[in-house]
Chains A and B, each alone.
Chain A
Amino acid sequence: MALDLKVNGTAHSVDVDPTTPLLWVIRDHVGLTGTKFSCGIAQCGACTVHVDGQPVRSCSFPVSAAVGKSITTIEGLSRDGSHPLQLAWLELDAPQCGYCQSGMIMSALALLTRNPKPTDADIDTAVTNACRCSSYHRVRKAIHRAAELMRTQKASA
């Protein structure tokens, strides 16, 4: 069954079982592998993408529910790594193995989109992605730094 999807602004038509989790459609049919599989039960957040601006755990989100909506993955954040989140992540040297970081960044993006100046407590509540390297210490600093960069960007825009 052909389903029409819009991923990072580009239209895709995919022929899959509509119950297939969005994660596998993004990775195997659309061909974007930045979004990761880890638990398969919406626990860890490695598969976090945005559907109409809302963060979802795509391993447990049927592709049929994303039809007609706007899907954003890590690859859609910026073409050249110039998004404030990516810049802040590099400034703080935040990732270790990096496997969870696409999802971590997408969760942070969702937070900063609705809350441009989050507190530590806001971060604790909103960014519930798991990282086995425990890069959290730098991720927290990077979120604050990205918030700062985004506010500056907005002010100068």
Chain B
Amino acid sequence: MKRKDTRDDGERGGMGLDRREFLAAAGAAFVVGFWVPPKAAAANIPGAVWYEDPTVPEINAWLVIAPDDTVTIRIAQTEIGQGVWTSNAMMVAEELQCDWSKVVSQYASANRDAREMAPEWTLNVPGNGGTDPKGGGTPEFGNRARTGGFGIPDSVYRRMRTNAASSVKDGRYYLQLAGAEARERLLLAAANDWHVPVGELSAKDSVISHTKSGRKTTYGKIAHLAARTPHPNPEAIAIKSPDQWTLMGTEQKNRDLPAKVRGETVYGIDVRMPGMKWAAVKSCPVYGGDVKSYDFDAVRNRPGIRSHVRFPIPDPKLTRGRVFSGGVAVVADSWYQAKQALDAMPIEWSIPPERAAFNTANMHAALIAALDKPGNVRVNEGDVDGVFARSKRIVEATYSTPYLPRARMEPGNATVLVTNDRVDIWIGDQSPQETRFSASQITGIPEQNVYLHMCHLGGGFGRNGNGPQAEQAIMIANANRGTPIHLLWTREEDFIGTTYRAMGVARLRAALDDDGWPVALEVRTGMQKDGFGPDASFDIASRYFVPNYRFSNHTTDFHVPVGTRRGVGQAAHEFYRESFMDELAHAAGKDPYRYRRELLSRTKLPFKNDMIKALDMAAEMSGWGTPLPKGTVRAIALEERGAETGGSATISAMVHTVSVSREGKVKLERVDVAHDKGFGLVNPLSVKKQIEGQITWFYNDAMHQACTIANGAIVENNFHRFPLSRIDEDPPEINVRFFETGHWLIGMGHDRGTSVQSAIGDALFQITGKRFRDLPYAKHDLTWA
């Protein structure tokens, strides 16, 4: 690969132009509230963690060691509460063999990533395959380039995206390699300095020792030499295997929490700049709609009001093909002034009638109708139709899941400053490379001159959940060049700007033999045509063995922008699959745990033993089969991703102990979790936290959440209509146990806890005798006598 290192000026925390350059740039621009971007403007906000140029030479693109031994590790993924700030730093620090207490994390520069290619030694991936004994496996960088097309970026930080629970999995090779390369160069620099063979040196906790002579030095003292000492053969550096880990695999608390409990963390919403103006926006509530007219004169004279900007539907090529809406922004001295003015400003929308005709009832009917039309047949094994024709016993069930938004706690926002040759963006963003591309496309300024100052995000739950927050802010700032514009969505606007998990339906049909075992299974799933994960959990092979199996998906064209919400297609599909397994077990008069276990043991799936192990462990942990009080039952389900591939996979099983009062009050009393740890978890503490969080996330989905559509618009657009589970719905007891499997993990940040959905459904059936097949359950009569 041809290397290109044009990193001559880098980012200077909000400063790229000096005063003279800025004045020249500003002279040609329309400037509201003249402002010179001082170097310290945003860089000095305490708690800010965006990239800043180091004061000493770096060792490599991932780390800098200061004379006092502080190691600054650059993180290319975004901290959204999943702990990447800590886990990814652990991977570098493990190999670096530095003092972990002196590690500081900082965001990697997305601007540098536009200017510099990945070093060749980071492309040298050791090992191959999911069961690599070196702890390897082929990293999956995801399959999208920054433009949304296919391809893996080969820029310096590779995949800066934070999605698909992949930050640890995808980052590990090059992060461990980065730490190892730096360690080797530090050793080499010390060896050269002392004129001893490098093989006689050892490194631990940032101290380099030469046992023979008793000499010692620290990383901080030798770093300036290491920065000038290239490694003669970096491609030969190998990463540690799990049995050599000392830091990885230990429970480490999140490094960024002290700031969070003091209220000091700088989220995007907290960015303040001298001369900054605030933008409140309203976009057409029906996707694909636009502004017809508005009357800014009605609010122009209110205090603090500065200007208005009409913005078009963001170019779908900048929003991963999704069509959002056009809208209007009011710009004011404070956000509340802007928002109040916007609320008072008459706006008329131009809404395409075919889009306004959508409502939940006709969309759901269209999905159900699609199930009866020919679909995309993904698997067709054996003689499904023949077996059904001969079978005396057929079980059929149709399930439905609603549109679901992410509804992260921090509403969409971004602060953008556009000058004539540079764009600065302060934002919490799960795909900075794509935002960099958007900025370039909207302003005409090259990506090399786009600077993203990354902030922690107040919740993520899916990359596309960022919606067009950045694109709208860039458009507004582009119309106000020279003035930093802080766009902030209201909660209602956030519900318009997010993407949704597609509404879905599934019809499952099984023929049972005389003993109650399935001999044929037909699965038809239906969702919006651009919905994500249409094949999850059903593709390639049935998880539970049936000799005759057909799976097809059936799509329909709707206007709601859908995306990768936490769990993606997996969450809905595991609800369908596991609910149906419960229904079959009950129809067969068999224990749902043993029924599943038997069907798993009949498969030839590569990870069947791991799936059985998960079920057995969860059942054992829960005291499966032991008596419970009346109105309290247990339900079990399998959660897996990738079990059919033989490559990467994550496998877990959960037993949910659920009570339902006669008045219909559901309580998740206890959850027992058996979870795959592959050949080792990087930070088991953050995995536990992810599991705990997702249990209540999916409880919330199962019990309460739904977005419906009326006249083409989302109805539930704030938390009074879109209920969020609170602490009283969190299960009092969660037990997590890990088991070793030896394969490479896919990740656990988004599709664990899906089993809550089917488990509550089955608990309701066991207790009330009623089977509910459409979510959320709270809309049904859950009482029993």
Contacts and interface: CB of A to CB of B under 8 A. Distances in A.
B724 A34 contact: no
Nearest to A99: B458
B724 A38 contact: no
A78 B263 CA distance: 11
A86 B689 CA distance: 18
A102 B491 contact: no
Interface residues of A, number: 58
Nearest to A143: B727
Given A38-B411, A90-B261, A123-B727, A96 B718 contact: no
A58 to B, nearest CB: 12
A55 interface: no
B336 A20 contact: yes
A43 interface: yes
Nearest to A88: B261
A97 B409 contact: yes
Interface residues of B, number: 61
B694 A134 contact: yes
Given A44-B409, A98-B458, A36 B726 contact: no
B107 to A, nearest CB: 15
Contacts of A129: 726-727
Interface in B64-115: 79-83
A82 to B, nearest CB: 10
B260 interface: yes
B295 interface: no
A16 B731 CA distance: 44
Interface string A15-45: 0010011001000100111111111110110
Nearest to B406: A132
B685 interface: yes
Contacts of A75: 262-263
Interface in B655-688: 685
B718 A41 contact: yes
Nearest to A98: B260
A140 interface: yes
B696 A89 contact: no
A52 interface: no
Interface in B420-471: 456-461
A112 B728 CA distance: 17
B257 A89 contact: yes
B181 to A, nearest CB: 31
B689 A138 contact: yes
Interface string A55-74: 00000000000000000011
B476 interface: no
A97 B459 contact: yes
Contact of B458 (A21, A89, A97, A136): A97
Contacts of B696: 134, 136-137
A133 B689 CA distance: 9
A19 to B, nearest CB: 9
A55 to B, nearest CB: 15
B269 A36 contact: yes
Nearest to B693: A134
Nearest to B258: A81
A31 B334 CA distance: 12
B215 interface: no
User: Which interface residue of A40, A90, A96, A139 has the most chain B CB atoms within 10 A?
Assistant: A96
Contacts of A21: 336
A37 B269 contact: yes
A34 B490 CA distance: 18
A75 B263 CA distance: 6
A94 B253 CA distance: 9
B187 interface: no
B713 to A, nearest CB: 18
B719 A130 contact: yes
A139 B696 CA distance: 13
A37 B734 CA distance: 31
A101 B262 CA distance: 9
A46 interface: yes
A31 B407 CA distance: 26
Given A43-B719, A81-B258, A102-B263, A132 B407 contact: yes
B692 A40 contact: no
Interface in B251-267: 253-254, 256-258, 260-267
Interface in B702-732: 718-720, 724-728, 730-732
Nearest to B263: A34
A41 B719 contact: yes
B263 A73 contact: yes
A77 B270 CA distance: 19
Contacts of A5: none
B367 to A, nearest CB: 27
Contacts of A33: 263, 266, 269-270, 272
B206 interface: no
Interface string A124-153: 110111111111111110000000000000
Contacts of A31: 272
Nearest to B690: A96
Nearest to B251: A93
B97 to A, nearest CB: 25
A136 B261 contact: no
A96 B264 contact: no
Contacts of B272: 31, 33
A136 B406 CA distance: 18
Contacts of B719: 39, 41, 43-44, 130
User: Which interface residue of A33, A128, A134, A135 has the most chain B CB atoms within 10 A?
Assistant: A134
Given A38-B410, A41-B720, A43-B720, A101 B727 contact: no
A100 interface: yes
A100 B461 CA distance: 15
Interface string B385-414: 000000000000000000000111111000
Contacts of A74: 262-263
Nearest to A101: B260
User: Which interface residue of A36, A44, A93 has the most chain B CB atoms within 10 A?
Assistant: A93
Nearest to B725: A134
A33 B335 CA distance: 14
A132 B694 CA distance: 10
B265 to A, nearest CB: 6
B197 interface: no
Given A40-B491, A97-B81, A136 B724 contact: no
A105 interface: yes
B724 A137 contact: no
B409 A38 contact: yes
Contacts of B730: 134, 136-137, 140
B491 A97 contact: no
22 contacts: A21-B336, A38-B409, A38-B411, A40-B491, A44-B409, A46-B409, A75-B263, A89-B261, A90-B258, A93-B254, A96-B689, A99-B267, A127-B726, A131-B409, A132-B407, A132-B408, A132-B697, A134-B700, A134-B730, A135-B689, A136-B730, A137-B731
Given A33-B266, A135-B689, 8 more contacts: A28-B336, A41-B718, A41-B720, A43-B720, A77-B262, A86-B261, A98-B261, A140-B730
Interface of B: 79-83, 253-254, 256-258, 260-267, 269-270, 272, 303, 334-336, 406-411, 456-461, 488, 490-491, 685, 689, 692-697, 700, 718-720, 724-728, 730-732, 734
Interface of A: 17, 20-21, 24, 28, 31-41, 43-44, 46, 73-75, 77-78, 81, 85-86, 89-90, 93-102, 105, 120, 123-125, 127-140
9 interchain residue pairs of minimum CB distance: A34-B263, A99-B458, A97-B81, A96-B81, A98-B260, A74-B263, A134-B696, A124-B728, A136-B730
